[in-house]
Structure 1
Amino acid sequence: MTTFGTRTNRSLTYVQMASLAVGAVFLLVGVLGFIPGIVTDYDSLTWAGHHTGAELLGLFQVSVLHNIIHLIFGAAGLAAARTANTSRLFLLAGGVIYLALWLYGLVIDKTADANFVPVNTADDWLHFGLGLGMVLLGAVLPRVATGTTRGPIGGTGLP
């Protein structure tokens, strides 16, 4: 039986497992963003801004700020996994944030100061996939776990 926490001995719902998994991936990416070799041109890593030449796996432009954001999202995902309701909220809200970041990346000039996180084209499409995936997980998994198609967040509507 998979359990979470020490105060209760209850099974995790699918949405809680998704929150844990997404949070863990964000934490991993945040940590990897500080490791030379995994980050190409590590010596050009900057605090923020589009001037950084550092790229995670040689694809995704990163900065110290970008890595910290990943770490914060990761910690939020792990913390949210304590309940099904907060897991669903994390996935839905986080997904919307990443979809907004995708749109932002599409409309800004990548060489302008507005690109302060920074993002490149690979980041943009990764943000789209993350956002869509998180929204889908947050919308579908609570219903799969409870066997409902209607009802309140994490609730038990009619099967």
Structure 2
Amino acid sequence: MASSTDPSAAAPPDQEGPSDFDKLREPLIGRLSMQAVALLFAAVFVLVGILGFLPGITQHLLFSTGPRFSGEHSHAMLFGVFMVSVLHNLVHIAYGAIGAVASFFAGTVRVYFFAGGLVYLALFVYGLVIDQHTAANFVPVNTADNFLHLGLGLLMILTGLVLHVRLNRMSAEEVRDSE
């Protein structure tokens, strides 16, 4: 006997239960939304990387002497707050490109968020332990960058966890619906 929560149990005799398309549509939408979130993160990383090369948005870019590739001598400040360099900007663009590629595959989206979050947490710790006024600060980072890296690391890991739980829940529902 069908349970009262079974949608096909409440269907009138002239209607069938959920179609095969309906059973596949929800998991597909869930996977697509996970991939869309990754693509959104990727777009933001690429945008931030590009903005780091634009005078006015990035203060003290020093194009007259050439932008600094890396190091603590880069005085370029994205939005006047975050210390950046050519290397820093290229890393953001690369992160965005990796996220864009990862967004094509539901399984790699989780890896992108978990691995990316761990990298950003490592950058946070790196920024705390180095002397920001030495060659060890090759990325370069400042206090604002450190807290941004902490927030991004936590956000990416949390997003990966939420997406992981969602995907597992959808997979369990697919198995249950196929029985």
TM-score normalised by structure 1 residue count: 0.84
In the aligned structure 2, how far is the partner of 1:27 from the partner of 1:134? 16
SS at 1:13 equivalent: helix
In the aligned structure 1, how far is the partner of 2:61 from the partner of 2:139? 16
Map 1:97-112 to 2 at 5 A: 97-112=119-134
Residue 19 (1) aligns with residue 38 (2): yes
Moved over 4 A (4+): none
In the aligned structure 2, how far is the partner of 1:103 from the partner of 1:142? 26
Query: How far 1:74 moved relative to its partner?
Result: 0.3
Q: Which amino acid aligns with 1:25?
A: V
- Counterpart in 1 of 2:137? 115
In the aligned structure 1, how far is the partner of 2:146 from the partner of 2:162? 24
Query: How far 1:15 moved relative to its partner?
Result: 2.1
Please say which structure displays the higher CA radius of gyration.
Answer: 2
Query: How far 1:122 moved relative to its partner?
Result: 0.3
Q: Which amino acid aligns with 2:50?
A: V
Residue 42 (1) aligns with residue 42 (2): no
Query: How far 1:147 moved relative to its partner?
Result: 6.6
- What are the superposed Cα offsets for residues 46-90 of structure 1, whole Å, 9 maximum, x if unpaired? 110000111000000000000000000000000000011111100
In the aligned structure 2, how far is the partner of 1:40 from the partner of 1:85? 39
- Counterpart in 2 of 1:157? 172
Over aligned residues, Cα RMSD in angstroms? 1.7
Unaligned runs of 5+ in 2: 1-27
Choose between structure 1 and 2: higher helix proportion.
Answer: 2
Is the contact between residue 84 and residue 142 of structure 1 (CA under 8 Å) also seen in structure 2?
no
TM-score normalised by structure 2 residue count: 0.75
